[in-house]
């Protein structure tokens, strides 16, 4: 019987790479994002079950995801991957409206997604929430993104305590060459934000794989996350 995987944010970046990898392994992927990954739908006909969803609009998104999950039945792994990165700037210069927008997608949407996954007759067995090294590093300039990923780590830890039948991990997948990195590496040098130079040096190297290779690496790592205590924050670079 084919594995069933639920992934948010499948249109690009890591979500696209993960979906492609699981599909290539014969899994059925139930995915959502604002845009449909037409190449995956065409390349793996009948095995990508997709719904267009804007996770910042909870009422509409919840209805679409509920429909997707009913269609899926039992889910082996859920990867909560969708997230947004605001403009790089100091936190004191970041409007509250920006923090609210980022928190809505990066944290609160994952709260109601976990609630849906856990309330089903056949609850998901493993939940992997995509975190970031920015959750723990305190890098200047990452403002709402760092705050949201740190909150996501704690969200996962709390759910692990409440729902011992589900294995949870907050997982940092390392650097991935994506639209997010195109934005970051395209910024002008700024001595206030030293990580930007590190990202520029990593782009185009093995340290920053593209979405397809990142999808392979992360898909291979996900089963190994089960050996860590549920609720842990795990960085792929330390596995």
Q: Could you give the domains of the chain?
A: 4-238 (3.40.50.720)
- Cα–Cα distance, 3 to 77 (Å, whole number): 9
Mean pLDDT of 109-128: 95
pLDDT at residue 110 in the model:
99
Q: Stretch 89-116: mean pLDDT, rounded?
A: 98
Q: Does the pLDDT value for residue 129 go beyond 90? A: yes
Question: Does position 2 have pLDDT exceeding 90, yes or no?
Answer: no
User: Of 130, 151, 100, 131, which is closest to residue 18 (Cα–Cα)?
Assistant: 130
Measure the CA–CA gap between 126 and 124, rounded to whole angstroms: 6
Cα–chain center distance at 122: 22
Q: Looking at the predicted structure, is the pLDDT value of residue 1 above 80?
A: no
Arithmetic mean of pLDDT, 114-138: 95
Determine the average pLDDT of the residues in 140-162: 98
Q: Return the pLDDT at 98.
A: 98
Mean pLDDT of 180-205: 94
Q: Count other Cβ atoms within 10 Å, centred on residue 182.
A: 10
Residue 239: DSSP 8-state: -
Percent of the chain with pLDDT over 70: 100
- Averaged pLDDT, 113-118: 97
d(CA 26, CA 132): 28
Task: Answer for the pair 17, 214: CB distance below 8 angstroms, yes or no.
Answer: yes
Residue 211 has pLDDT above 80, yes or no: yes
For the entire predicted model, the pTM comes to 0.96
């Amino acid at each position: 019987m084919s594995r069933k995987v639920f992934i948010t944010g499948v249109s690009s970046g890591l979500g696209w790479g993960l979906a492609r990898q699981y599909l290539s392994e014969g899994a059925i992927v139930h995915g959502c994002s604002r845009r449909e990954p037409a190449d995956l739908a065409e390349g793996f006909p009948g095995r990508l079950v997709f719904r267009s969803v804007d996770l910042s609009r909870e009422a509409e998104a919840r209805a679409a995801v509920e429909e997707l999950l009913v269609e899926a039945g039992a889910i082996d792994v859920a990867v909560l991957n969708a997230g947004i990165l605001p403009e790089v700037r100091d936190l004191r210069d970041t409007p509250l409206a920006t923090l609210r927008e980022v928190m809505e997608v990066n944290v609160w949407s994952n709260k109601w997604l976990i609630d849906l996954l856990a309330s089903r007759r056949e609850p998901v067995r493993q939940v992997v929430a995509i975190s970031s090294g920015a959750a723990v590093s305190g890098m200047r300039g990452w403002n709402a993104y760092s705050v949201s990923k740190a909150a996501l780590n704690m969200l996962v830890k709390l759910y692990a305590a409440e729902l011992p039948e589900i294995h949870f991990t907050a997982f940092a997948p390392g650097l991935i060459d994506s639209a997010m990195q195109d934005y970051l590496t395209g910024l002008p040098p700024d001595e206030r934000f030293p990580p930007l130079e590190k990202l520029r040096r990593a782009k185009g190297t093995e340290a920053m794989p593209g979405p397809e290779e990142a999808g392979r690496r992360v898909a291979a790592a996900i089963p190994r996350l089960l050996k860590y205590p549920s609720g842990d924050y795990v960085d792929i670079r330390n596995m």
